[in-house]
Protein backbone atom coordinates (compact mmCIF):
# COMPACT_ATOMS: atom_id res chain seq x y z
CA UNK A 1 0.00 0.00 0.00
CA UNK A 2 2.77 2.41 0.97
CA UNK A 3 4.58 1.51 -2.25
CA UNK A 4 1.48 2.43 -4.26
CA UNK A 5 1.04 5.71 -2.44
CA UNK A 6 4.63 6.62 -3.16
CA UNK A 7 3.96 6.16 -6.93
CA UNK A 8 0.92 8.46 -6.99
CA UNK A 9 2.88 11.76 -7.20
CA UNK A 10 4.94 10.34 -10.07
CA UNK A 11 1.80 9.21 -11.89
CA UNK A 12 0.20 12.62 -11.36
CA UNK A 13 3.34 14.33 -12.63
CA UNK A 14 3.35 12.13 -15.75
CA UNK A 15 -0.33 12.90 -16.36
CA UNK A 16 0.33 16.64 -16.01
CA UNK A 17 3.28 16.39 -18.42
CA UNK A 18 1.18 14.38 -20.91
CA UNK A 19 -1.72 16.82 -20.73
CA UNK A 20 0.66 19.74 -21.18
CA UNK A 21 2.16 18.10 -24.27
CA UNK A 22 -1.30 17.37 -25.66
CA UNK A 23 -2.45 20.93 -24.99
CA UNK A 24 0.68 22.32 -26.62
CA UNK A 25 0.26 20.02 -29.61
CA UNK A 26 -3.40 20.98 -29.93
CA UNK A 27 -2.50 24.67 -29.79
CA UNK A 28 0.16 24.24 -32.51
CA UNK A 29 -2.35 22.32 -34.65
CA UNK A 30 -4.87 25.14 -34.23
CA UNK A 31 -2.30 27.77 -35.14
CA UNK A 32 -1.21 25.69 -38.14
CA UNK A 33 -4.77 25.55 -39.48
CA UNK A 34 -4.87 29.34 -39.21
CA UNK A 35 -1.79 29.58 -41.44
CA UNK A 36 0.35 31.40 -38.87
CA UNK A 37 3.55 32.55 -40.62
CA UNK A 38 5.80 32.04 -37.58
CA UNK A 39 5.38 28.24 -37.72
CA UNK A 40 8.25 26.71 -39.77
CA UNK A 41 7.11 25.09 -42.99
CA UNK A 42 8.61 21.69 -42.09
CA UNK A 43 6.83 21.71 -38.73
CA UNK A 44 3.54 22.72 -40.33
CA UNK A 45 3.85 20.02 -42.98
CA UNK A 46 4.69 17.33 -40.38
CA UNK A 47 1.73 18.31 -38.19
CA UNK A 48 -0.62 18.30 -41.15
CA UNK A 49 0.66 14.86 -42.20
CA UNK A 50 0.18 13.46 -38.68
CA UNK A 51 -3.27 14.92 -38.03
CA UNK A 52 -4.67 13.88 -41.41
CA UNK A 53 -3.45 10.29 -41.17
CA UNK A 54 -6.89 8.88 -40.19
CA UNK A 55 -8.49 10.69 -43.14
CA UNK A 56 -5.94 9.28 -45.52
CA UNK A 57 -6.39 5.79 -44.15
CA UNK A 58 -10.16 6.06 -44.71
CA UNK A 59 -9.59 7.32 -48.26
CA UNK A 60 -7.18 4.45 -48.93
CA UNK A 61 -9.69 1.94 -47.54
CA UNK A 62 -12.45 3.35 -49.76
CA UNK A 63 -10.16 3.26 -52.80
CA UNK A 64 -9.39 -0.41 -52.23
CA UNK A 65 -13.05 -1.32 -51.86
CA UNK A 66 -14.46 0.57 -54.85
CA UNK A 67 -14.15 -0.16 -58.52
CA UNK A 68 -11.62 1.87 -60.54
CA UNK A 69 -13.08 5.16 -61.70
CA UNK A 70 -12.90 3.99 -65.32
CA UNK A 71 -16.19 2.15 -64.69
CA UNK A 72 -19.48 3.94 -64.10
CA UNK A 73 -22.98 2.66 -63.14
CA UNK A 74 -25.19 1.76 -66.09
CA UNK A 75 -28.81 2.99 -66.23
CA UNK A 76 -31.39 0.25 -65.74
CA UNK A 77 -33.64 1.46 -68.53
CA UNK A 78 -30.99 2.08 -71.20
CA UNK A 79 -32.25 1.36 -74.73
CA UNK A 80 -29.49 1.12 -77.37
CA UNK A 81 -29.93 2.18 -80.99
CA UNK A 82 -27.91 1.02 -84.01
CA UNK A 83 -29.27 2.06 -87.38
CA UNK A 84 -25.89 2.56 -89.02
CA UNK A 85 -25.68 1.52 -92.65
CA UNK A 86 -22.01 2.47 -93.08
CA UNK A 87 -18.94 1.58 -91.05
CA UNK A 88 -17.88 4.12 -88.43
CA UNK A 89 -14.44 3.43 -86.98
CA UNK A 90 -13.48 4.92 -83.61
CA UNK A 91 -10.09 4.83 -81.86
CA UNK A 92 -10.94 4.44 -78.18
CA UNK A 93 -9.62 3.00 -74.93
CA UNK A 94 -11.19 0.95 -72.15
CA UNK A 95 -10.22 -1.10 -69.10
CA UNK A 96 -10.19 -4.82 -69.95
CA UNK A 97 -9.11 -5.39 -66.33
CA UNK A 98 -8.61 -3.17 -63.27
CA UNK A 99 -4.89 -2.84 -64.00
CA UNK A 100 -4.91 -3.25 -67.79
CA UNK A 101 -6.05 -1.04 -70.63
CA UNK A 102 -6.91 -1.76 -74.23
CA UNK A 103 -6.76 0.77 -77.06
CA UNK A 104 -8.83 -0.37 -80.02
CA UNK A 105 -10.16 0.63 -83.39
CA UNK A 106 -13.82 -0.29 -83.04
CA UNK A 107 -16.32 -0.50 -85.86
CA UNK A 108 -19.47 0.87 -84.23
CA UNK A 109 -21.75 -0.59 -86.90
CA UNK A 110 -20.65 -4.20 -86.31
CA UNK A 111 -19.08 -3.99 -82.84
CA UNK A 112 -15.91 -5.58 -84.27
CA UNK A 113 -12.47 -4.64 -82.95
CA UNK A 114 -10.32 -4.11 -86.04
CA UNK A 115 -7.01 -3.52 -84.25
CA UNK A 116 -5.96 -3.50 -80.59
CA UNK A 117 -3.02 -2.36 -78.46
CA UNK A 118 -2.42 -3.41 -74.86
CA UNK A 119 -1.17 -1.20 -72.00
CA UNK A 120 -0.26 -2.87 -68.71
CA UNK A 121 2.16 -0.45 -67.04
CA UNK A 122 -0.23 1.80 -65.11
CA UNK A 123 0.54 4.23 -62.30
CA UNK A 124 -2.71 3.28 -60.54
CA UNK A 125 -5.90 1.40 -61.32
CA UNK A 126 -7.84 4.62 -61.95
CA UNK A 127 -5.63 5.71 -64.88
CA UNK A 128 -7.43 6.75 -68.06
CA UNK A 129 -5.91 6.62 -71.52
CA UNK A 130 -7.38 9.70 -73.16
CA UNK A 131 -7.39 10.88 -76.75
CA UNK A 132 -4.60 8.62 -78.01
CA UNK A 133 -3.51 9.28 -81.58
CA UNK A 134 -2.42 6.75 -84.21
CA UNK A 135 0.38 7.42 -86.70
CA UNK A 136 0.68 6.08 -90.24
CA UNK A 137 2.77 3.06 -89.16
CA UNK A 138 0.10 2.00 -86.60
CA UNK A 139 2.16 3.26 -83.70
CA UNK A 140 0.29 5.11 -80.96
CA UNK A 141 0.97 8.12 -78.75
CA UNK A 142 -0.99 8.16 -75.49
CA UNK A 143 -0.82 9.20 -71.87
CA UNK A 144 -2.32 8.06 -68.58
CA UNK A 145 -3.72 11.56 -68.08
CA UNK A 146 -1.45 12.76 -65.31
CA UNK A 147 2.12 13.23 -64.20
CA UNK A 148 3.21 10.06 -65.98
CA UNK A 149 3.83 12.04 -69.20
CA UNK A 150 3.45 10.84 -72.80
CA UNK A 151 4.28 7.43 -74.21
CA UNK A 152 4.69 6.02 -77.72
CA UNK A 153 4.20 2.34 -78.53
CA UNK A 154 4.57 0.48 -81.81
CA UNK A 155 1.92 -1.57 -83.60
CA UNK A 156 2.72 -4.51 -81.30
CA UNK A 157 2.31 -2.45 -78.10
CA UNK A 158 6.06 -2.28 -77.44
CA UNK A 159 7.24 0.99 -75.92
CA UNK A 160 9.33 3.23 -78.20
CA UNK A 161 9.80 6.27 -75.94
CA UNK A 162 8.46 8.01 -72.88
CA UNK A 163 8.45 11.78 -72.37
CA UNK A 164 7.88 12.41 -68.66
CA UNK A 165 9.46 15.83 -68.11
CA UNK A 166 5.97 17.34 -68.37
CA UNK A 167 2.50 16.25 -67.30
CA UNK A 168 -0.15 15.69 -69.97
CA UNK A 169 -3.87 16.24 -69.67
CA UNK A 170 -6.82 16.28 -72.04
CA UNK A 171 -6.07 16.49 -75.77
CA UNK A 172 -3.36 15.21 -78.13
CA UNK A 173 -3.50 16.26 -81.79
CA UNK A 174 -1.18 15.82 -84.76
CA UNK A 175 0.46 18.96 -86.12
CA UNK A 176 2.55 19.75 -89.19
CA UNK A 177 5.87 18.28 -90.28
CA UNK A 178 5.92 15.18 -88.06
CA UNK A 179 4.90 16.89 -84.83
CA UNK A 180 2.05 16.76 -82.37
CA UNK A 181 0.65 19.17 -79.79
CA UNK A 182 -0.66 18.45 -76.30
CA UNK A 183 -2.14 20.22 -73.30
CA UNK A 184 0.42 20.03 -70.52
CA UNK A 185 1.47 21.09 -67.02
CA UNK A 186 4.98 21.87 -65.90
CA UNK A 187 6.05 19.38 -63.22
CA UNK A 188 8.01 20.00 -60.02
CA UNK A 189 11.06 17.71 -60.13
CA UNK A 190 9.14 15.43 -62.46
CA UNK A 191 6.72 14.42 -59.71
CA UNK A 192 4.02 16.96 -58.93
CA UNK A 193 1.82 19.58 -60.55
CA UNK A 194 1.84 22.83 -58.61
CA UNK A 195 0.33 26.30 -58.49
CA UNK A 196 2.63 27.91 -61.02
CA UNK A 197 1.11 31.39 -61.13
CA UNK A 198 -1.03 33.84 -59.15
CA UNK A 199 -3.02 36.98 -59.65
CA UNK A 200 -4.02 39.73 -57.21
CA UNK A 201 -7.35 41.50 -56.71
CA UNK A 202 -7.85 44.18 -54.06
CA UNK A 203 -4.79 43.06 -52.13
CA UNK A 204 -5.83 39.41 -52.15
CA UNK A 205 -3.65 36.83 -53.85
CA UNK A 206 -5.02 33.84 -55.74
CA UNK A 207 -2.50 31.11 -56.60
CA UNK A 208 -3.65 28.92 -59.47
CA UNK A 209 -2.63 26.05 -61.72
CA UNK A 210 -0.89 27.40 -64.79
CA UNK A 211 -1.44 25.52 -68.04
CA UNK A 212 1.10 25.05 -70.78
CA UNK A 213 1.00 24.00 -74.42
CA UNK A 214 3.71 21.81 -75.86
CA UNK A 215 4.79 20.72 -79.33
CA UNK A 216 6.66 17.41 -79.65
CA UNK A 217 8.54 15.49 -82.29
CA UNK A 218 6.60 12.34 -83.25
CA UNK A 219 9.66 10.15 -83.67
CA UNK A 220 11.56 10.96 -80.49
CA UNK A 221 9.16 12.69 -78.09
CA UNK A 222 11.58 15.64 -77.94
CA UNK A 223 10.00 18.95 -76.89
CA UNK A 224 10.11 21.51 -79.72
CA UNK A 225 7.99 24.26 -78.16
CA UNK A 226 6.72 24.85 -74.64
CA UNK A 227 4.78 27.89 -73.49
CA UNK A 228 2.85 29.03 -70.42
CA UNK A 229 -0.70 30.18 -71.17
CA UNK A 230 -0.37 32.75 -68.38
CA UNK A 231 2.64 34.22 -70.20
CA UNK A 232 0.64 34.26 -73.44
CA UNK A 233 -2.11 36.28 -71.72
CA UNK A 234 0.39 38.70 -70.13
CA UNK A 235 2.25 39.27 -73.40
CA UNK A 236 -1.01 39.95 -75.26
CA UNK A 237 -2.66 42.14 -72.58
CA UNK A 238 -5.38 39.56 -71.95
CA UNK A 239 -5.03 38.86 -68.22
CA UNK A 240 -8.63 39.93 -67.66
CA UNK A 241 -9.58 36.48 -68.98
CA UNK A 242 -8.29 34.98 -65.73
CA UNK A 243 -11.00 36.55 -63.60
CA UNK A 244 -13.84 35.42 -65.87
CA UNK A 245 -13.44 31.85 -64.69
CA UNK A 246 -15.79 30.01 -62.34
CA UNK A 247 -12.73 28.49 -60.61
CA UNK A 248 -10.15 30.86 -59.01
CA UNK A 249 -7.68 28.00 -58.44
CA UNK A 250 -8.04 26.70 -62.02
CA UNK A 251 -9.05 29.70 -64.16
CA UNK A 252 -7.52 28.37 -67.38
CA UNK A 253 -8.24 24.64 -67.54
CA UNK A 254 -7.15 24.29 -71.15
CA UNK A 255 -9.01 21.26 -72.51
CA UNK A 256 -8.10 21.25 -76.19
CA UNK A 257 -5.37 22.38 -78.54
CA UNK A 258 -6.03 22.05 -82.25
CA UNK A 259 -3.18 22.68 -84.72
CA UNK A 260 -3.93 24.48 -87.99
CA UNK A 261 -2.60 22.35 -90.84
CA UNK A 262 -3.22 24.63 -93.85
CA UNK A 263 -3.13 28.31 -94.68
CA UNK A 264 -6.49 30.02 -95.00
CA UNK A 265 -8.08 33.47 -94.95
CA UNK A 266 -8.19 33.62 -91.14
CA UNK A 267 -5.62 31.06 -89.98
CA UNK A 268 -2.07 30.16 -90.89
CA UNK A 269 -0.38 26.78 -91.00
CA UNK A 270 1.31 26.33 -87.60
CA UNK A 271 -1.30 28.29 -85.63
CA UNK A 272 -3.11 26.52 -82.78
CA UNK A 273 -6.65 26.84 -81.46
CA UNK A 274 -6.80 26.73 -77.67
CA UNK A 275 -9.92 26.11 -75.57
CA UNK A 276 -10.38 27.17 -71.93
CA UNK A 277 -13.22 25.39 -70.13
CA UNK A 278 -13.46 27.34 -66.88
CA UNK A 279 -13.03 30.67 -68.69
CA UNK A 280 -15.46 29.75 -71.50
CA UNK A 281 -13.23 31.25 -74.19
CA UNK A 282 -11.16 30.08 -77.12
CA UNK A 283 -8.20 31.71 -78.79
CA UNK A 284 -6.30 31.45 -82.04
CA UNK A 285 -2.62 31.63 -81.12
CA UNK A 286 0.42 31.97 -83.41
CA UNK A 287 3.46 30.34 -81.73
CA UNK A 288 5.85 31.66 -84.38
CA UNK A 289 5.24 35.24 -83.24
CA UNK A 290 3.71 34.82 -79.79
CA UNK A 291 0.61 36.74 -80.91
CA UNK A 292 -2.99 35.97 -80.05
CA UNK A 293 -4.77 36.45 -83.37
CA UNK A 294 -8.31 36.19 -82.04
CA UNK A 295 -10.18 35.58 -78.79
CA UNK A 296 -13.53 33.87 -79.31
CA UNK A 297 -16.37 34.21 -76.80
CA UNK A 298 -20.05 33.75 -77.32
CA UNK A 299 -23.18 31.70 -76.50
CA UNK A 300 -21.29 28.78 -74.97
CA UNK A 301 -20.07 27.76 -71.53
CA UNK A 302 -17.51 25.19 -70.41
CA UNK A 303 -17.04 24.26 -74.07
CA UNK A 304 -14.94 21.36 -75.19
CA UNK A 305 -13.30 19.88 -78.26
CA UNK A 306 -12.95 22.77 -80.68
CA UNK A 307 -12.31 21.40 -84.21
CA UNK A 308 -11.36 23.07 -87.47
CA UNK A 309 -14.18 22.27 -89.89
CA UNK A 310 -13.09 24.41 -92.87
CA UNK A 311 -10.67 27.27 -93.38
CA UNK A 312 -13.41 29.63 -92.17
CA UNK A 313 -15.50 27.58 -89.71
CA UNK A 314 -14.98 25.81 -86.40
CA UNK A 315 -17.21 23.35 -84.56
CA UNK A 316 -17.23 22.75 -80.82
CA UNK A 317 -19.08 20.84 -78.13
CA UNK A 318 -20.91 23.32 -75.94
CA UNK A 319 -21.28 21.70 -72.53
CA UNK A 320 -23.62 24.54 -71.70
CA UNK A 321 -23.18 24.79 -67.95
CA UNK A 322 -20.76 25.22 -65.11
CA UNK A 323 -19.63 22.28 -63.06
CA UNK A 324 -22.79 22.50 -60.92
CA UNK A 325 -20.89 22.17 -57.66
CA UNK A 326 -22.75 22.35 -54.37
CA UNK A 327 -26.37 22.02 -53.40
CA UNK A 328 -29.33 23.99 -54.65
CA UNK A 329 -29.48 27.35 -52.86
CA UNK A 330 -32.43 27.44 -50.46
CA UNK A 331 -31.58 30.57 -48.47
CA UNK A 332 -34.57 32.56 -49.73
CA UNK A 333 -38.10 31.33 -50.11
CA UNK A 334 -39.49 30.45 -53.52
CA UNK A 335 -41.77 33.05 -55.08
CA UNK A 336 -45.29 32.34 -56.19
CA UNK A 337 -45.74 32.74 -59.12
CA UNK A 338 -42.29 31.81 -60.43
CA UNK A 339 -40.67 32.43 -63.81
CA UNK A 340 -39.77 29.14 -65.47
CA UNK A 341 -36.69 28.84 -67.72
CA UNK A 342 -36.58 26.12 -70.36
CA UNK A 343 -34.40 23.08 -69.54
CA UNK A 344 -30.78 23.47 -70.59
CA UNK A 345 -28.87 20.91 -72.66
CA UNK A 346 -25.49 20.60 -74.28
CA UNK A 347 -25.09 21.09 -78.01
CA UNK A 348 -22.90 21.52 -81.07
CA UNK A 349 -22.01 24.98 -82.31
CA UNK A 350 -20.54 26.04 -85.63
CA UNK A 351 -18.55 29.28 -85.50
CA UNK A 352 -18.07 31.38 -88.64
CA UNK A 353 -14.72 33.11 -88.21
CA UNK A 354 -15.29 35.83 -90.79
CA UNK A 355 -18.64 37.05 -89.46
CA UNK A 356 -18.40 36.02 -85.81
CA UNK A 357 -21.77 34.26 -86.08
CA UNK A 358 -22.67 31.06 -84.23
CA UNK A 359 -24.92 28.35 -85.67
CA UNK A 360 -26.58 25.60 -83.61
CA UNK A 361 -26.38 22.09 -85.03
CA UNK A 362 -29.00 19.40 -84.29
CA UNK A 363 -30.23 21.28 -81.21
CA UNK A 364 -33.60 19.47 -81.35
CA UNK A 365 -31.84 16.09 -81.09
CA UNK A 366 -30.03 17.24 -77.94
CA UNK A 367 -33.29 18.49 -76.42
CA UNK A 368 -35.40 15.46 -77.35
CA UNK A 369 -32.79 13.06 -75.95
CA UNK A 370 -31.79 15.29 -73.02
CA UNK A 371 -28.10 15.13 -73.91
CA UNK A 372 -26.13 17.04 -71.30
CA UNK A 373 -22.62 16.75 -69.93
CA UNK A 374 -21.11 19.54 -67.86
CA UNK A 375 -17.50 18.30 -68.23
CA UNK A 376 -15.38 16.89 -71.04
CA UNK A 377 -17.33 15.36 -73.99
CA UNK A 378 -16.52 15.77 -77.67
CA UNK A 379 -17.89 15.93 -81.18
CA UNK A 380 -16.16 14.57 -84.29
CA UNK A 381 -17.40 14.84 -87.86
CA UNK A 382 -17.87 11.53 -89.63
CA UNK A 383 -16.63 11.05 -93.21
CA UNK A 384 -19.74 11.03 -95.37
CA UNK A 385 -21.73 13.19 -92.98
CA UNK A 386 -22.99 13.14 -89.43
CA UNK A 387 -21.41 13.58 -86.02
CA UNK A 388 -19.96 11.25 -83.41
CA UNK A 389 -20.72 12.52 -79.89
CA UNK A 390 -19.45 11.43 -76.49
CA UNK A 391 -21.76 12.45 -73.67
CA UNK A 392 -19.01 12.23 -71.09
CA UNK A 393 -20.71 12.27 -67.68
CA UNK A 394 -23.08 9.43 -68.59
CA UNK A 395 -20.55 7.99 -71.08
CA UNK A 396 -23.18 7.43 -73.76
CA UNK A 397 -21.93 7.29 -77.35
CA UNK A 398 -24.11 8.90 -80.04
CA UNK A 399 -24.11 9.29 -83.79
CA UNK A 400 -26.52 11.79 -85.29
CA UNK A 401 -27.10 12.65 -88.93
CA UNK A 402 -29.72 14.84 -90.55
CA UNK A 403 -31.29 15.53 -87.13
CA UNK A 404 -31.77 11.80 -86.51
CA UNK A 405 -30.16 9.47 -83.95
CA UNK A 406 -28.48 6.61 -85.83
CA UNK A 407 -26.51 5.19 -82.93
CA UNK A 408 -26.82 5.25 -79.14
CA UNK A 409 -24.78 2.86 -77.00
CA UNK A 410 -22.69 2.36 -73.91
CA UNK A 411 -19.64 0.09 -73.76
CA UNK A 412 -20.50 -2.81 -71.42
CA UNK A 413 -17.76 -3.85 -69.01
CA UNK A 414 -16.82 -7.04 -67.18
CA UNK A 415 -18.48 -5.65 -64.03
CA UNK A 416 -22.23 -6.28 -63.90
CA UNK A 417 -24.22 -3.07 -63.69
CA UNK A 418 -21.30 -0.93 -64.88
CA UNK A 419 -20.05 0.23 -68.26
CA UNK A 420 -16.82 1.77 -69.49
CA UNK A 421 -16.10 5.44 -68.98
CA UNK A 422 -15.78 7.25 -72.30
CA UNK A 423 -12.21 8.40 -72.92
CA UNK A 424 -12.42 10.68 -75.93
CA UNK A 425 -12.67 8.47 -78.91
CA UNK A 426 -11.34 9.65 -82.23
CA UNK A 427 -13.12 9.13 -85.55
CA UNK A 428 -10.79 7.35 -87.97
CA UNK A 429 -10.74 8.08 -91.72
Residues 374 and 303 in one domain: yes
Per-residue model confidence (pLDDT) at position 64: 46
Nearest CA to 397 among 69, 107, 95? 107
- Bridge partners, residue 52, by sequence: none
Per-residue model confidence (pLDDT) at position 124: 86
- Calculate the alpha carbon distances from 56 to 48, 52, 262, 328 in Å: 11, 6, 51, 29
The answer to whether 31 and 39 have CB atoms below 8 angstroms apart is yes
In-domain check, residue 13: yes
In-domain check, residue 100: no
Residues 4 and 84 in one domain: no
In sequence order, the 6+-apart residues with CB closer than 8 A to the CB of 390 are 376, 377, 378, 396, 397, 398, 422, 424, 425
Query: Which parts of the chain register pLDDT below 50?
Result: 60-64
Residues 7 and 82 in one domain: no
The answer to whether 186 and 205 have CB atoms below 8 angstroms apart is no
Residue 151 C-alpha from the chain's centroid: 18
Residues 59 and 79 in one domain: no
In-domain check, residue 222: no
Residues 48 and 7 in one domain: yes
Rounded Cα gap, residues 379 and 303, in angstroms:
11
Nearest CA to 171 among 312, 67, 316, 6? 316
Rounded Cα gap, residues 423 and 172, in angstroms:
12
Per-residue model confidence (pLDDT) at position 129: 93
The answer to whether 276 and 240 have CB atoms below 8 angstroms apart is no
What tens digit of pLDDT does each residue of 328-337 get? Answer: 667 788 888 9
**How many domains, the chain?**
2
Rounded Cα gap, residues 276 and 44, in angstroms:
35
Residues 59 and 15 in one domain: yes
Per-residue model confidence (pLDDT) at position 18: 77
Residues 390 and 310 in one domain: yes
Mapped onto helix, strand or coil, the DSSP state of residue 392 is coil
Residues 413 and 354 in one domain: yes
In-domain check, residue 56: yes
Nearest CA to 150 among 165, 132, 163, 169? 163
Per-residue model confidence (pLDDT) at position 61: 45
Residues 305 and 378 in one domain: yes
Residues 24 and 81 in one domain: no
- Bridge partners, residue 404, by sequence: 401
In-domain check, residue 25: yes
Mapped onto helix, strand or coil, the DSSP state of residue 74 is coil
Rounded Cα gap, residues 274 and 296, in angstroms:
10
What tens digit of pLDDT does each residue of 160-197 get? Answer: 999 999 999 999 999 999 999 999 998 887 678 888 89
Host domain of residue 9: 1-66
Residues 55 and 34 in one domain: yes
Amino acid sequence: MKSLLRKIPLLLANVVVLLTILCLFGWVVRETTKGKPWIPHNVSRSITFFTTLPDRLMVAKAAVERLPLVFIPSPDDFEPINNLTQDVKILMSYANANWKRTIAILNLRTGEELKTWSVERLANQHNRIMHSVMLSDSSLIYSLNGVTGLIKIDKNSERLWKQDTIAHHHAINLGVDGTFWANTYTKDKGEHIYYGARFSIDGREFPYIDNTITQFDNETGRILYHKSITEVLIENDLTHLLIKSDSPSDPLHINDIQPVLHNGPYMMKGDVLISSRTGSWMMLFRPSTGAVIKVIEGPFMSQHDVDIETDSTLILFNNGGQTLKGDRPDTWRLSDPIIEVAPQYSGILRYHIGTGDFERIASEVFEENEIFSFTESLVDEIPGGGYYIEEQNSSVLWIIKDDEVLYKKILPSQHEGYHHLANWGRVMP
